[in-house]
Structure 1
Amino acid sequence: MKKLLTLLLPLISFAAASAQPQDNIKYTTPNFIKIWNDALGNHRAIIEVSQPSQAIELDFLWRRHDKDPQNRRFILINAQDGSQIKNILRKEVNNERCNIVFGPVNTATEYYLYYLPYPIHTGWGGFGADYLKSEDAPDGEWVAKIGKDLPKAKVQTIQARTEFDSFYPMEVTALASETADYKSKNSDKMLLFPEDRSFQIRMRDAIPQKWLSTKQGSAFAGRAERNEYYAYQIGVWAAGGALDNLKVEWSDLKSGNNTILKKDITCFNTEGYNPRGEYFTKNISVKEGIIQPLWFGVDIAESATAGTYRGTVTISAEGVAPKSVDVAIEISDKVTADRGDSELWRHSRLRWLNSRAGIGNEPTKGYTNVEVDGNKLSVKGRQVVLGDDGLPHSIKAKDNEILAGGIEFIIQTDKGNTVLRTGKPEYTLQDNGRVEWTTIGANDEMKLNCRAALEFDGWVNYIYTITPLKNIKVKDIRLNISMRGEVARYMMGMGLEGGNVPSAHSSKWFGAKQSDKPIISTTSDAPVKLDGLQDSFWVGNSDAGLSVELRGASYTGPLLNLYRPAPPVSWNNGGKGGFVIKKEGGKVLASVYSGERELKPNETIVFDFAFIITPVKSIDYKSQFNDRYYHNGSNPTPAEEDIAAGVKVINVHHANELNPYINYPFLTTAQIKNFTDYWHSKDVKVKLYYTIRELTNNVPEIWALRSLGNEILGSGRGGGYPWLREHLVDDYLPQWYQYLGPVNSADASIVNSPGESRWYNYYIEGLGWLVKNLGINGIYLDDVTYGRDMLKRMRRVMDANGDCAIDLHSNTGFSRGAVIQYTEFFPYVDKLWFGESFYYNRMSPENWLVEVSGIPFGLMGDMLHRGGNRWRGMVYGMTVRHPWMTDGILCDPRPVWKVWDNFGIADSKMVGYWRADAPVRTSNDKILATTYINPNGEILVAVGSWAEKPTDFTLKIDWKALGINPATARIVQPEIVDFQSSAEYKATDKIRIEPTKGYLIYIR
């Protein structure tokens, strides 16, 4: 039969070759009730069959832009009885035309031809499936009976499941013959197509059928309102060859004596402001055959006079004569209340791309100006004293000196360490929250320029520029930091997870490849080596420390799973650079070296590094124990018993009905506002998941963002969820996927471009808008890629609009060393949730303290993975969030919360085992205790075991420090559900404890 089918196909195809396919078809979407099963795909043709027949021919132009339509399955359904036609013979199936024969057909009725079906994935994470492959070949006997003059089916309409899925009109392509004909009639190298914002230009390598009737040189006419930020487009088609160095100019818009100045108009594709508030221009070149949409924004003042404002946009390219488009915008007398931002179809929020909100040097809430007293610089709780070389010779956190000597930047040649004569540091800026200084040195071999700055949050940055005056062979350029041994107790980074400072350790820069293996902590004295990317390290204790970042790479934000840049070039020096730390004589020396190199005259080399003095703030114990989180990804609504248990903050995750679309909470603002208002009435705060890393495909501005090339939306292999394949087609990287049911479009995000982009500005404006208009109390950050400058902007914008908090989550499974990735965030963060992929039962106490608790940095946190370890968690003042569940494991914190409330822990003093003045310890160094002392003098002791087997211990109590008479004291272990049974002890009693377990014990 297959042989017969092969023989007949050429005959059938030839017979139909001269047939004219049906064209000019109506495009519709069904009403809500008639939306079909999404497993059938998002597109169908409704066809009419006028008579029963052994075979029916269908021939129409579907004008598709997606890839490989010939490889997708056809499903043909009888609309009357739901039966499926099995025999489908493909005669010609390509992007332009669908010519098939099907049958037998026993009923004259409507039929539905579904042509992009795919397997439904009802879960989340990633969409790895492909479309269903082509249907089976038709029955050979049926093919043999097909005659020549077949009845013709007629397409009534092409339907998309939803308006969001529709190709019409901007993705309904012109045929190749039509495109060629249009080009022949309009032979200019550059053709222009003005478009209203309602018809976003989507395709880059094909023109829509809609444009075939557009006369070149036609004007643009639009309608706007006073106080609106008005957006429109002009499509530039490189029809006759590449367009190099596209130049776009525009005039004022005039209506009688009234004018909208050209400075109040912008083309987002050619100019803007970066996230640091710096103006920039972009050079645009368009390859032959490609369409470049240009998006324009017109800032219409509320005071504008109604009327029609006229002007021109002139576009040219190298070797191409300028062409002008007449622009007329009719402004009504109506005033738009919020610039148009509440109506997303207006695209007025595009102006957010150029926002400079939150930029400045003013200290954020809780911090003060930098104080300058000679070479002594002070910020809240910390102090830096500069030497004559401009480097710190003393760094203090409160009264704790960190350094054991001055920090050194050393250039070593064959002659020894280079000595450059420098004057004292010269201050070049003193602006409230930022102080800048320079030092300049020179000898007969080189010049050295150092620019440095200290900001109000304790961040210190040095940028050294070395300019050789002759060929110089350098043995090493390195940074030496000598720290006092009693301060340099713990460390993390440069290949080590959080733990005790080792006696000696060295490492090299890691390559770009990360292991997918989770980090598993151990109880050994030596920290565990990490195999992920690292560009920072921290050394210190709970009272003082120093975080060091080696900068200079093209990307300097947190090193996440999606962004894997090379190490900083100057420091790495082609793999010659590295890191050494060692203990010697009561000191700890950390050294970053770059190795041998040859410097050539006038070829500058730059070394960039930064410090953060820790802790960055004082711990807010009251907030830690009072502001209890309800964090339920699928259902953000707590029950009454949860509120009664003390829930005070609701984190609204994404991927639920309230906040369905990742990193774009602007599509459900009415629901979020109602939710927030309700819970505020219950004295409960509401925070939203809102970050940057990936962006939902449902964002209304997606086509405007796409027009910016890869400035905002990242490049990649394509694929993923069908909507992305059908509309974006190529040059994107799929990321998060979440099924949202059979009616709503799935949330199918794509990766943002790494590094800074104007989406940062949009994000900042969006954050302010959410706080101001919806009343949210802050945001939940889940592994983000921007740096500390963004955190400063975020805090300023949030604090200007409401009472807000930020909590930060990270996954150590791919964000190796979350603490050092995000240390620069900590001044602006209120709480940590570093718990995903943390194996709490295998983590050393030092690892708990450094990587999870936040305590050395002035923060506190919650546990996550598999419910954490409730006993060890209390040693660090942590529980899980309610009712978060991982791997089907739920650890309910409410019984412990009840103990907190009965004891009054929010008003207590917390003294951990890591402090020298801890008043309660145990007789076993594997059994650790943290003491909570309430204002009434009552004591609560949290005991946790890191012993490998059941162990006996006794409490070692400093009765004098506690102010308790041991003769009358009671040591009581209360019963706590799922935590411990009740017991009472004498001070000398041995207490048995199981591995990984612990107790909460009152001393009264």
Structure 2
Amino acid sequence: MKNFYFSLALLLLITQACHDVKHADFLPADTPLSTTIDGITYRPGNWAHPDYSAPFTFLGNHRLVIESPVDTGTVFVHLEWRRRDLHPEAKGMILVNALTQDTIRNRLALAVTNDFGNIVFEPQPGARTYYLYYLPHTSTGKYYPKLNYLEPQETADPVWSQRVARLNLTQLPEGKVTASESIDDFHSFFPMEVTATTEEVNAYTAAHPQSYYLFPESRHRSIRMSHFLPYHWIRRGPQSGLQDDVKRGEYYTFQVGLYATGKAMNDVKVTWSDLVNKQGAHIDANQITCFNTGGIDLNGKPFAKVVNVPAGKVQAFWLGVDVPIDIQPGSYQGSFIFQPMGEKPDTCMLALDVTADTIANHGDDDPANMTRLRWLNSTLGTDPDFIVQPFLPVSFEDHSLHVLGRDVILGDNGLPAQIQSYFTTEMTKLADAPESLLAKAMDLTITANDGHRIDWQSQNFSIAQNHPGAATWSVINHAEGFDLHVHGRLEYDGMLDYYLELIANQATEVQDIALPIAYRPEAAEYLVGLGYQGERRPERVDWHWDVEYHQEGAWMGAVNKGLQYVLRDENYERPLNTNFYHNKPLKMPPSWFNDGRGGIRISRQGEAIVADNYTGKRSLQAGDTLHFNIRFLITPFKTINTEKHFSTRFVHEYVPVDSAIAWGGTVINVHHAKPINPYINYPFYALDSMKAYIDEAHTKGVKVKLYNTIRELTYHAYELFALRSLGDEIFNDGEGGGHSWLQEHLEDHYHSAWHATEVNDAAILDKGTSRWTNYYIEGLNWLAKNQQIDGLYLDDIAFSRETVKRIASVMNRHRDEVVIDLHSANQYNPRDGYINSIFLYMEHVPYISRLWFGEYFDYSEDPDYWITEVSGIPFGVGGEMLEGGGHPYRGLVYGMTTRKYSTFDPRPIWKLFDEFGIAQSRMQGYWVEEQAIKTSNPRVRTTIYRKPDAVLIAIGSWSKTDEQVQLHIDWEALGMDP
């Protein structure tokens, strides 16, 4: 009944609002704006940019053009500059002769505010035109620039200054500001960052007294400022609505700026009516959304947001209208009601003149239309029935579940009693009989205060499969004083996810709650994680939780069988990585962390290698619930297709297609900062030339992939300010800084990131756990469908496994074969919290075609490091080398070469591969027990590539000295007669 009365009240409110503004004047969205304000013309000046690749001092990106009536004496100039930067009085100014660029040293700043400035200066003989640069700065340049604005300096001759102090300023000749220039159009403040003065705002609010104001605005003029009102809003006066033309099938977006005057406007609600024409046709209100007040998250779940507008601030509200493609042409009007908590509602009208024309893809083919904002709420790629090749549907019988090459056998408690692998050590095929990983069934153990372990009684085991890609099950376990609810899920790639809820039924104290994992020794040959780089498992590990380290679990395994696990709680959020871990580190999971008492101990116990995941002593009250979440990845994920591996040759340079072919390349990776992909993680510029390049490559049998990921986003993104209006939902909050454009147009609440100096492209950090993921997936879908890209080059990954699943899903719908390769700089360093790259990205590997690890990997390390940290082989994916061009001999032991990039040239080894026919051979590494050719020296390893009538032997030495070795050849195993 409450909902009925609320709906009725809302209907009456909207109806009344429509009646009140029936004769409203609508602002045409395409109204041209005069570029002249106060007699000052706003225009680009087009002077030279600095060399961003090195440290520099620069006059700045903005200047005023001053005309002096005289060329001698002293001139006074009133500067109506309407500045948006905070604390302009703390920044220096440089005045130069426009013709000679000589600095005018005799000048004084008499007043500096955001609204205006006053200066006097001594003109030079014969010069009447001057440039006043008011944002000069120094920068370290390069990829992560640190920039400082020059402070005010007194450069005038003291005698001249004293003489000026005695002058009557009102009698001085007065110079005139004729233009306000930016270095180029992109840096321009016009029109949305040209501020209204304090006097103008006060006059406006006095003439139209309200507690808050609504300003409708076109989608093509993003609201950019939160501290100031644009002058263009004050000049046009109050507007009750917005009018625009729209095509049928278009997704139309527009903005409403809400300005809070004397007090904060909290919990702003936005509601709307249908858009209706005179004949009664309508655009349903369900086709309208406000992106700021809610949407669909990256997991496909609806959410709502509370929007608060601090006093004196402007908040942009972006709204979208999905115009049906079959709608009757005509004029449609509706109302949008804004109501802060405790305030009267106010209304903004919208009139859409729907033409008879239609537009393809909702208008998404031109990102400048801002139609792609609807992508933020997309669920594309979440089809639970879609399974990426070569994986198979999950199958189960009773307590046994099966995915590609692996079995999970559940105990009565719902936890794994056994995990099995069918992968052979060659990693190119599956065996008929499995190998077991566990020495003992898993159990959550509770040690009471008196030292005894409680016994569980299990009941209500149930397993279900609603979609082929996953199976789920649940069990309730009872014990004295506790209930344990087990919820498990196995997905087709081998991800085994558990949500364990431990409920205390009475107040109690325990010595420990733990989940020990007992590996068979042969399934725990290597260790990755917990502060260990890939190596032979040490005899004992004693690890404790520490927020300084991005560590939450371990992988132990062998080449053909292994298990990664991570320990989490309900508070888990993906940390940042790749240089930014400490800006958003791992949240300690309360259940496992237990105020620092928890940890992981690994040791041999009898015939098992036990990873004891303990939490230590704790007190519980009746009703307390602990969430012991744990996610497993069962490795390997898939077999390695060596024919495809050796036939695929990456050219990691943007070169003519014929050049790539001449080099022997089959796949071209187009990095960002290249002509057809100029801006980082936003490949939606230069679309025609990109398509032409891809089409040419395809006609010549070459694939083309793009650099495009989530971690940072170019400042050239059309939607940048719309995304900023969502607060810290999309972009990481931060201290600002970095490139001058960022500081001059964003000011604060961002984290600067990569700067591609060769194309002057700066970026800020974005979140891989936000709605931007939905946009990203839609963007890849558009690129695969329209540009026909063949895959992605992922430069580290800042998003979840689910996102990579969606990537693979949408791209495989448009392309016969999708190539996704993952590059990573070594994350095992202080900046990244000492996490292993392969550990961090193991969840993504099922959907990755190739690894390229990467800067700072140490190719001088031993074979155990190579096979676990670099090669990808134990996880079902091949790798390539990067750092220093790699180590050609050691690399070939793992089937790895470098790529054609920079000065590194793998063509000679590619030629050898082709002459031998390596793609048609059978690869057997030293890790294969029946490998037929071995050396007499354990520091020298071999891999053979077998054909019926020939063998190619790769020999890599890890010795610190020259070695002579003898090859031990099993001719019978080779099937050859010596």
- Under a length normalisation based on structure 2, what TM-score does the superposition of the two structures give? 0.90
Deviation string for 1:374-393 (max 9, x for gaps)? Answer: 11111121111111111111
Q: Per the alignment, do residues 436 and 265 of structure 1 end up closer, same or farther by CA in structure 2, a change over 3 Å counting?
A: same
CA contact 1:365–1:799 (8 Å) conserved in 2: no
Q: CA deviation at 1:297?
A: 0.3
DSSP 3-state at the match of 1:244: coil
Letter aligned with residue 379 of structure 1: V
1:541 aligns with 2:558: yes
Paired residues, number: 909
1:244 to 266, 276, 293: 266
Q: Residues 197-212 of structure 1: matches in 2 within 5 Å?
A: 197-212=219-234
Matches of 1:711 and 1:683, distance apart in 2: 42
CA distance in 2, matches of 1:560, 1:577: 27
Decide which of 935, 944, 953 is 1:941's aligned counterpart: 953
Q: Provide Cα deviations, 1:628-677, integer angstroms capped at 9, x if missing partner.
A: 11113xxx116856523421111111123332211111122222222212
**Equivalent residue number for residue 785 of structure 1:** 798
Partner of 1:281: 304
Instruction: Report the counterpart of residue 921 of structure 2 in structure 1.
Output: 908
1:800 aligns with 2:836: no
- Structure 2 CA distance, aligned partners of 1:408 and 1:893? 51
Q: Which residue of 2 aligns with 1:367?
A: 391
Residue 871 of structure 2 corresponds to 853
Kindly state the Cα deviation for residue 165 of structure 1 after the two structures are TM-superposed: 1.0
8 Å contact 2:668–2:705 — kept in the other structure? Answer: yes
The match for 2:753 is: 735
Q: How does 1:891-906 map to 2 (within 5 A)?
A: 891-906=904-919
Q: Which amino acid aligns with 1:452?
A: G
Q: Secondary structure at the match of 2:843?
A: helix
Structure 1 contact 645–898 (Cα < 8 Å) conserved: no
Q: Secondary structure at the match of 1:801?
A: coil
Counterparts of 2:717 and 2:440, CA distance in 1: 54
5 Å-filtered alignment, 1:3-42, equals 24-30=38-44, 39-42=58-61
What residue in structure 2 maps to residue 574 of structure 1?
595
In structure 2, the gaps of 5 or more residues are 1-35, 52-57, 423-433
Q: Is the 8 A contact 2:43 2:179 kept in 1?
A: no
1:705 Cα shift? 0.5
Contact between 1:738 and 1:748, CA under 8 Å: does it hold in 2?
yes
- Structure-2 separation of matches of 1:443 and 1:504: 32
Matches within 5 A, 1:24-423: 24-30=38-44, 39-107=58-126, 109-119=128-138, 124-146=142-164, 147-148=167-168, 149-216=171-238, 218-255=240-277, 256-362=279-385, 363-398=387-422, 399-414=434-449, 416-423=452-459
**Are the equivalent residues in 2 in contact too, given 1:660–1:740 (CA < 8 A)?**
no
Q: What SS does the aligned partner of 2:802 have?
A: helix
Amino acid at match of 2:543: S
> How far off its partner does 1:558 sit?
7.1
1:716-753 deviation digits (Å, cap 9, x = unpaired):
11111111111111111111112245xxxx21111124
Counterpart-to-counterpart distance in 2, 1:964 and 1:558:
54
Residue range with higher mean Cα deviation, 441-450 or 271-280: 441-450
> Aligned pair 1:714/2:727, yes or no?
no
Q: How many angstroms does 1:120 deviate by? A: 6.2
Name the amino acid aligned to 1:167: F
Which of residues 512, 536, 540 is equivalent to 1:500?
536
Shift of 1:136: 4.3
RMSD, matched Cα: 2.0
User: 2:626 — aligned with what?
Assistant: 605
Q: Which amino acid aligns with 1:60?
A: L
Q: Distance in 1 between matches of 2:487 and 2:741?
A: 49
How far off is 1:324 after superposition? 1.4
The answer on whether the counterparts of 1:626 and 1:646 sit within 8 Å (CA) in structure 2 is no
Q: Structure 1 pair 538/181, CA: closer, same or farther in 2 (3 Å)?
A: same
For residues 241 and 54 of structure 1, the distance between their equivalents in structure 2, rounded to whole angstroms, comes to 49
Aligned equivalents of 1:676, 1:157: Cα separation in 2: 44
Secondary structure of 2:126's counterpart equals coil
Tell me which amino acid in the other structure corresponds to 2:73: Q
Contact persistence 2:41–2:178 (CA under 8 A): no
In structure 2, the partner of 1:9 is none
Distance 1:164 1:645, change over 3 A: closer
Match of 1:868 in 2: 886
1:812 maps to amino acid: N
Deviations 1:9-56 (A, max 9, x none): xxxxxxxxxxxxx97243433376x66778432211122223222221
Query: 1:23, 1:354 → 2: CA distance?
Result: 39
Where 1:318 maps in the other structure, the secondary structure is coil
Q: How many angstroms does 1:119 deviate by?
A: 3.9
Instruction: Tell me the CA shift for residue 568 of structure 1.
Output: 2.1
User: Of the candidates 454, 463, 472, which is equivalent to residue 490 of structure 2?
Assistant: 454
1:630-779 aligned at under 5 Å gives the runs 630-632=651-653, 636-637=654-655, 642-740=660-758, 746-753=760-767, 756-779=769-792
* 1:829 correspondence with 2:848: yes
2:229 match: secondary structure: coil
**8 Å CA contact 1:53, 1:151 repeated in 2:** no
Amino acid at match of 1:591: D
Confirm or deny that 1:436 pairs with 2:482: no
Q: Provide the rounded CA distance (Å) in 2 between the counterparts of 1:683 and 1:567.
A: 50
Q: How far apart, in 1, do the equivalents of 2:611 and 2:791 lie?
A: 38
Flag the 1:197–1:46 CA change in 2: closer, same or farther, 3 A: same
Matching residue's letter, 1:179: V
Q: Secondary structure at the match of 2:682?
A: coil
Secondary structure, in 3 states, of the residue corresponding to 1:951?
A: coil
Asked if the contact 1:370/1:379 (under 8 Å) is kept, the reply is yes
State the distance in 2 between where 1:188 and 1:533 align: 51
Mapped partners of 1:215, 1:602: distance in 2: 60
Please give the secondary structure, in 1, of the residue aligned with 2:628: strand
Partner amino acid for 1:233?
Q
- 8 Å contact 1:23–1:61 — kept in the other structure? no
Query: How much has 1:877 moved relative to structure 2?
Result: 0.6
- Structure 1: segments with no counterpart, 5+ residues: 1-21, 513-531, 885-889, 967-1004
Superimposed CA distance per residue, residues 85-118 of structure 1 (whole angstroms, 9 cap, x where no aligned partner): 2322111122211211112332253322222233
Match of residue 596 from structure 1: 617
Question: What residue is the counterpart of 1:625 in the other structure?
Answer: 646
SS in 1 for 2:350: strand
What secondary structure sits across from 1:396 in the alignment?
Answer: strand
* Pair 1:464 & 2:490 matched: no
In 1, are the aligned partners of 2:575 and 2:586 still within 8 Å (CA)?
A: no
* One-letter amino acid of the structure 2 residue matched with residue 131 of structure 1: Y
Following superposition, the deviation at residue 546 of structure 1 comes to 0.9
865-874 vs 99-108, which deviates more? 99-108
- 2:678 and 2:335 map into 1 onto residues whose CA distance is 41
The separation in 1 between residues aligned to 2:746 and 2:904, in whole angstroms, is 42
SS in 1 for 2:696: helix
Task: Find the counterpart in structure 2 of residue 13 from structure 1.
Answer: none
Q: C-alpha distance in 2, partners of 1:304/1:272?
A: 25
- With over 3 angstroms needed to count, the CA separation of the structure-2 counterparts of 1:311 and 1:154, relative to structure 1, is same
Determine the structure 2 residue equivalent to 1:954. Answer: 966
Contact 2:240 2:347 in 1 (8 A): no
> Is contact 2:676-2:685 (8 Å) kept?
no
CA-CA distance at 1:298 after TM superposition: 0.4
Q: 1:88, 1:103 within 8 Å by CA — same for their partners in 2?
A: yes
